[in-house]
Chain A
């Protein structure tokens, strides 16, 4: 817990974890020690449902540049969807 950079947001959707699809309730975003990627620290993005246990988790680790690019493309996709009349 060496950076303590961690934040959450509620999520409505589904994720596919180690045992298949499950309903998501929360996304956790952080920047801390990486578990798998070959860097000391990484952006940590976890889609989870704590009510289903710690294993209900879709985990991603990425570097900061990738995170910035992802945010930009996520925003672009939302903008395009809303421009096309989708709002849900």
Chain B
């Protein structure tokens, strides 16, 4: 076996083995003391500050607190204009909406994997479970048997009317207009939500046990109610919300760099901001992982001379 040729020493890559003095070091004792010290610290923090637990928003709490916003959202689910209905992959195949950087369009390539038809899944399907309400079933029959043009005319009329709807002691009151069966449909859905039935129906996927909240969460996130609550808790994207927590608790502060990119141009106003920020973060993460191999970057520690501060006792001993 031929020994490898000695290579040039590079101070940012290589290090000579230490041949100087050693000192006693009890690693087990250090670990034990650290374990106890951190236990005391987290006990203190837990006792003094506790932890936040803001109750979850339900379709029931939303429709009860703000039935107008609920109805305004519900009609967009029925007529297919809601954020979810027009989202694109992985929920539906709305064309030309997937984020892309040039030709790089991964969401479009992967396609629809969690199909959601908002009219059917969020409105018509749940109301069909109310088989003991013939008025609602007849309204659904009328709506379903109408032409698309007629359906569009009804939903457009309802959207205009519900914009001026009022909340009278928790009851939705929509001005009368030519919206056909849509008034009964959205009214019944609002009542179903207020009774708590819609929460269970959206969660149910034909089996008793379920832990997938995709549908109720997408419905709730379509309205203004959740968004307004998040704004009051400084959680929105423009508020650096990704690294915040409800109340005054520290959140995922380690995401500061990720959320920072959303605050700067061009990502700040870009329709492809999510993909652009992910691309930036992936490049930076890979650079951090392979930093020891990257010239210039791996020299920064030596140039910065911060190491003189870290090993100041060592350098003092040299003088």
On whether the two chains bind one another, the answer is no
Measured CB to CB, the residues of A under 8 A from B are none
